[in-house]
Chain A
Amino acid sequence: DAKTTQPPSMDCAEGRAANLPCNHSTISGNEYVYWYRQIHSQGPQYIIHGLKNNETNEMASLIITEDRKSSTLILPHATLRDTAVYYCIVTPGGGADGLTFGKGTHLIIQP
């Protein structure tokens, strides 16, 4: 069973904020929300992760709802290079585990 649900595709205009939703209604207390992206023909790339607080880094912001059942990845000023498949992954903290990738959201940035 999928642990996360994401829309299959989204469009966003260049320069605008891209908001990518993820539903993870069965998340457990010890599980983190991670976001990776995969640009065409490349390996996946880590973006950001969080447990329950909102997080921000140089790439993006992560907003997690108070009940932790959903989250939103925000790319504040999308560029054409942000066109990629974005994966929302729920995984336990405290050690390395293999990542379970779903189908992700194909984000297309329009010029």
Chain B
Amino acid sequence: DAGVIQSPRHEVTEMGQEVTLRCKPISGHDYLFWYRQTMMRGLELLIYFNNNVPIDDSGMPEDRFSAKMPNASFSTLKIQPSEPRDSAVYFCASSLVWGKHNEQFFGPGTRLTVL
């Protein structure tokens, strides 16, 4: 099992550019989550999907951020235009909910630097 796959692992861009982060969840998982981690704010939930449908996007910081899940095996998080304060590590996680157990499997993260 390859686990959750994220790409790219590192991204350096200039302010104002569009950034797209990608995630492939574990096959068969029905939930997908996007988190952001910074030193100042720690780990924050941005948005999550159930069966490809966005359920809660209240953590998305502003309209510059958007996320899509066109199918069960792929999701994107897009920032347009990017700003230096978006610099962070972005994690994708997936889970298969059964009974009352919800174990989330995290990817390795994408380290984004906006200059």
A residues in contact (CB < 8 Å) with B:
32, 38, 42-46, 49, 51, 87, 91, 93-103
**Across the two chains, which residue of chain A brings its CB closest to B44?**
A101
Q: Give which listed residue, B44, B104, B107, B108, contacts A46 with CB less than 8 A.
A: B104
Tell me whether chain B's interface is mostly helix, strand or loop, or mixed. Answer: strand
| CB <8 Å contact, B91 and A43 | yes
Known pairs A32-B100, A49-B101; A100 contacts B31 (CB<8 A): no
Q: Give which listed residue, B45, B103, B107, B109, contacts A98 with CB less than 8 A.
A: B45
Residues of B within 8 A of A51 (CB): 100
Q: What's the least CB distance linking A31 to chain B, in Å?
A: 11
Q: Give which listed residue, A44, A49, A95, A96, contacts B43 with CB less than 8 A.
A: A44
**Across the two chains, which residue of chain B brings its CB closest to A46?**
B103
List 14 extra interface pairs beyond A42-B106, A46-B104, A102-B42, CB under 8 A. A43-B107, A43-B108, A44-B91, A44-B106, A93-B100, A93-B101, A93-B102, A95-B102, A96-B95, A97-B48, A98-B56, A99-B45, A100-B45, A101-B43
Decide if B59 is an interface residue (CB 8 Å cutoff): yes
Q: What's the least CB distance linking B42 to chain A, in Å?
A: 6
Residues of B within 8 A of A43 (CB): 4, 91, 93, 106-109
Give the 3 A-B residue pairs with the shortest CB-CB distance, closest first: A43-B106, A93-B100, A98-B45
| Complex Cα spacing A97 to B59, Å | 13
| Complex Cα spacing A49 to B102, Å | 9
- What 1/0 mask marks residues of chain B from 43 to 75 whose CB sits below 8 Å from any chain A CB? 111001010000010010000000000000000
| Complex Cα spacing A96 to B93, Å | 12
Residues of A within 8 A of B95 (CB): 96
Decide if B115 is an interface residue (CB 8 Å cutoff): no
Known pairs A43-B109, A44-B106, A46-B105; A95 contacts B42 (CB<8 A): no
